[in-house]
Amino acid sequence: MAAQNGEAACLGIEFGSTRIKAVLVGSDHRPVAYGSCLWENRLADGIWTYDLEDVWRGVRTCLEELKRDAEARRGLAHIKIGAIGVSAMMHVYLAFGADGELLVPFRTWRNTCTKKAAEELTERLDFPIPQRWSAAHLYQAILDGETHVKNVAFLTTLAGYVHWRLTGEKVLGVGDASGMFPIDKTTCGYDEKKLRQFDELAFSHGFRRRIQDVLPRVLTAGQFAGTLTPEGARLLDPAGWLQAGIAMCPPEGDAGTGMTATNSVRERTCSLSAGTSVFAMTVLERPLKRTHPEIDLVATPEGGAVAMVHCNNGTGDLDAWIELLGEAAEKLGARFDKTALYRTLFQQALCADGDCGGLTNVNYLSGEHLTGFTEGRPVFARLPGSRFTLANFMRAQLFSVLCTLKTGMDILTRGEDVVIEEITAHGGYFKVKGVGQRILAAALDTPVCIRDAAGEGGPWGMALLAAYMLYREEGEPLGDYLENRVFRDAAAETAAPDPAEAAGFSRYLERYRRCLIVEQTAIETLKDNFES
């Protein structure tokens, strides 16, 4: 649908792993207001989960902050909302019964408890089905004989769930859908052959519903995905600023919004997000030569083929250490804000020895499929003769965020000869100017570009997808829209890899990989609640 009113603003909402964020953009695609709030997952009965009530409490808090920001900047009454888009973390299991009730607690991407299902599906479908995918979770529940399985009527992602509650529409953007079940690039829908193969496996274990009947309908970027209902408007904004009838674009995953926010939806582009998790999205020119269990095959918001390297563990351990160092500074009477704390500590990393002086950090708070771990125990190790300085410690922390990513990227660039001309990055890892960007360039030995709004890419990317639905011309591809209307004059900085820093990362990576046996021992011997 193309908009006739060029003055309408677009709202993008994203449910990240640690924050719910919202960005309002004007008709020029530039942000005019922001809002955010913190929320936390928890480990309950061995499952990483969120309470769905926190979804609605959190988004209302987030939007209240956005409204205050909008009022302060330009006056809330003067802003008309033309379209809304919702995105969220991908790869989750949300199963609902025919009455719309949640059947089991929300299972997040952090859960790596579906190994048998993922392996069987990968072999039967001849397609890499990671443990995080919704299809793997459903099939594992079938294999385990979970009682809720017989009542599953609808399966969706977090973005799909929120969109459903806001509009009544059980739909999903193709990028997010591609993390539930394989997509056929030619149709931009679920792969029909693989649907039948899944059903054959599931039926043999007593599951009597076709998987296609429980999955959301797939839409591509630019398509109309319903309107905000009166009930949906009250869920988002009880105060009544958001009114029923606002157009909604297809809900997307955080990978798709990251690609959009970095103008990385064309072939040979690569978008990288580094925050609580780390994932790189490389748009492919050709199919990969063989199946790699370590690589997700997903889609751009338009349905283009993407090779995704996904790492469960990103900055969570790093953030915990920074909180600890900040607490120590506060005890000594220092006064500072969190931005200054991060800036000071990140910048220390640039003064470190190339290989971190012999320090090693494994940042696994949870399992990590790329290296074969189903659980995590953060481990920091050093030799008696290591140079234990603050600079080396911070560089080791920043390096550890990228080590698992490097393993997956090597499969693409060395094993599959995938060409990546430049990586465009965003996320919290890059908020301190010049630090994360420089270290990533060294780790992957590839130039890294950072654009404006890199730290808030997700919700801005979702707002851009809403604007694309509203303002695009008939037949205008998303890549052209972004290039010509959004990024034509956008500021960007590119860092080339420094050979000495790249060599230092390589030495660190060798030590990191040898330390994984220590990680395995820690998992086996260190149990929750200090169990023996």
Mean pLDDT taken over the chain = 93
Which CATH entry fits the domain spanning 91-156+181-214: 3.30.420.40, 1.10.3720.10, 3.30.56.10, 3.40.1160.10? 3.30.420.40
Crossing angle of the two packed helices 115-125 and 192-204, in degrees rounded to 10:
130
Say if 91-156+181-214 and 316-452+493-530 have the same CATH topology. yes
pLDDT tens-place string over residues 80-91: 999 999 999 998
Cα atoms in the 13 Å half-sphere on the side-chain side of 278: 30
User: Tokens 């908009």 belong to which residue?
Assistant: 3
CA distance 79 to 70: 8
What pLDDT score was predicted for residue 77?
74
Of 25-29, 108-112, 205-209, 385-389, the poorest mean pLDDT is in 108-112
Tokens of 11: 């709202």
Share of residues in the chain with pLDDT > 70 (%):
97
Task: Please state, as a whole number, how many other Cβ atoms lie within 10 Å of the Cβ of residue 413.
Answer: 16
Residue type, 238: P
What pLDDT score was predicted for residue 389?
98
For residues 30-56, average pLDDT:
91
Of 7-21, 275-289, 372-386, 444-458, the poorest mean pLDDT is in 444-458
The answer to whether 223 and 165 are in contact (CB under 8 A) is: no
Assess whether pLDDT exceeds 90 at residue 500.
Answer: yes
pLDDT tens-place string over residues 116-125: 999 999 999 9
Decide: residue 414, CB within 10 A, 0-12 exposed, 13-18 middle, 19+ buried. Answer: exposed
Cα atoms in the 13 Å half-sphere on the side-chain side of 145: 0
CA distance 112 to 388: 34
Spell out the residues 6+ positions from residue 233 whose beta carbon is closer than 8 angstroms to its own: 240, 242, 243, 244, 246
Q: pTM of the entire structure?
A: 0.85
pLDDT tens-place string over residues 199-223: 999 999 999 999 999 999 999 999 9
> Which SS3 state, helix, strand or coil, does residue 27 take?
coil
Task: Please state, as a whole number, how many other Cβ atoms lie within 10 Å of the Cβ of residue 237.
Answer: 18
Confidence of residue 528 (pLDDT cuts 50, 70, 90): low
Task: Please state, as a whole number, how many other Cβ atoms lie within 10 Å of the Cβ of residue 439.
Answer: 27
CA distance 111 to 118: 13
Assess whether pLDDT exceeds 90 at residue 2.
Answer: no
Domain covering 316-452+493-530, topology: Nucleotidyltransferase; domain 5 (3.30.420)
CA distance 207 to 187: 27
Residue of 309, 318, 306, 315 lying closest to 274 (CA atoms): 315
Residue type, 209: R
What pLDDT score was predicted for residue 24?
95
pLDDT tens-place string over residues 349-404: 999 999 999 999 999 999 998 898 989 999 999 999 999 999 999 999 999 999 99
What pLDDT score was predicted for residue 455?
46
What does the DSSP 8-state code read for residue 168? S
Residue of 284, 282, 171 lying closest to 226 (CA atoms): 171
Which residue did the predictor score with more confidence, 193 or 48? 193
CA distance 121 to 15: 29
The alpha helices in 383-498, defined as continuous H runs, are 390-410, 435-444, 457-471, 478-481
Confidence of residue 14 (pLDDT cuts 50, 70, 90): very high
pLDDT tens-place string over residues 452-497: 654 457 899 999 999 999 999 999 999 999 999 999 888 889 999 9
What does the DSSP 8-state code read for residue 351? G
CA distance 14 to 27: 20
Share of residues in the chain with pLDDT > 90 (%):
80
Residue of 281, 285, 319 lying closest to 297 (CA atoms): 281
Cα atoms in the 13 Å half-sphere on the side-chain side of 20: 26
Query: Could you state, in order of their start, the residue ranges of all structural domains in the chain?
Result: 91-156+181-214, 316-452+493-530
Assess whether pLDDT exceeds 60 at residue 326.
Answer: yes
pLDDT tens-place string over residues 139-195: 999 999 999 999 999 999 999 999 999 999 999 999 999 999 999 989 999 999 999
Backbone phi, psi, residue 439, to 5°: -70, -40
What pLDDT score was predicted for residue 456?
59
The answer to whether 118 and 133 are in contact (CB under 8 A) is: yes
Dihedral Cα 64, 68, 70, 74, nearest 10 deg: 150
Residue type, 244: A
Tokens of 465: 């997808």
For residues 71-78, average pLDDT:
81
Q: Do the strands 9-15 and 19-25 form a parallel or antiparallel pair, or are they unpaired? A: antiparallel
What does the DSSP 8-state code read for residue 297? E
What pLDDT score was predicted for residue 531?
43
CA distance 81 to 248: 11
